[in-house]
Structure 1
């Protein structure tokens, strides 16, 4: 089946923001003498914050000042982000190649629109996507397939005619459940067994999407 669209996750795939998020959640815990369970935290990557934050709060233990924790976490994240975000290797070349080949581009992220705008500030990439699906666009976030199904609907393409590019296991599960050809470019996680079984491809970087001709044939090597 021919390839009609590529759907991009954002945090950890386009930008190096997942490292900033992890540092911020750790920093806020440390300020209250707590230790963040990194394995638990990383298992939630790709999910909506509202869906996984209660699990983190519970892990940090009783007596946590939750409002202070949230304030410290968000303030630290914004300090890190103000130092500048970097595009992950291969994004810019891939984005341009898609445009040259007439392949549609969608952004499918669990982040909300203000964060999306902030991350893309100073470039025109955001306005060159054919559609955007954000965390507040659907009720059920990743790993539910809703966001990818909505993205395909807005592009008027069948899921099987798309590549979905993700860095997290939860994002991959969402794309696989939607019927997309799901490609993982790991950032803070290693691929889970179920993701390995169903992934269209596992790649070291976005540059490998072009290097392995996934846009040409849409098939595995």
Structure 2
């Protein structure tokens, strides 16, 4: 299985290669990052590390046997014991359980290392694979919404309580760091007990 690592400066070339190689694949389910993202990648990478250093976000990469990036799982908008979880997995790594394992592991880190008690996530209604990953990681549906400033129906349900960790992010949309959903979504919430570590990963 790939190794989950906290984002570092030396990850930049592999992350850029990951984003380029999977750009067309990601566009099938999330908005394209746009040309500016790639043109200013080095500057952006430094900015992410600065945010991480300030404790505002936690960025993780899944590193394969050859040092390649196979996925990214991020916690953004860290505030008041909560954060938004977003992830993306390389096309060649899809369908192997890597996304589920990675999301579960990050959920464990959120509770055990970062001291978070609640995680939120969003995925489009037609993205069955992403919805399944989040459900297997313990997320429960709390409502439906439409992103990009469109009206949203007020459809919510109570989150279920779990033994281990689980805002609509300002980082969504083209070039965003999270799931990047831009259409009708299910908002998910993972409620957790305080600081209970797990052996699981978005």
More helix, by proportion: 1
Fold similarity call, TM over 0.5: no
More strand, by proportion: 2
Larger of the two Rg values belongs to structure:
1
**Where on the TM-score scale, by shorter chain, does this alignment land: which range?**
0.3 to 0.5
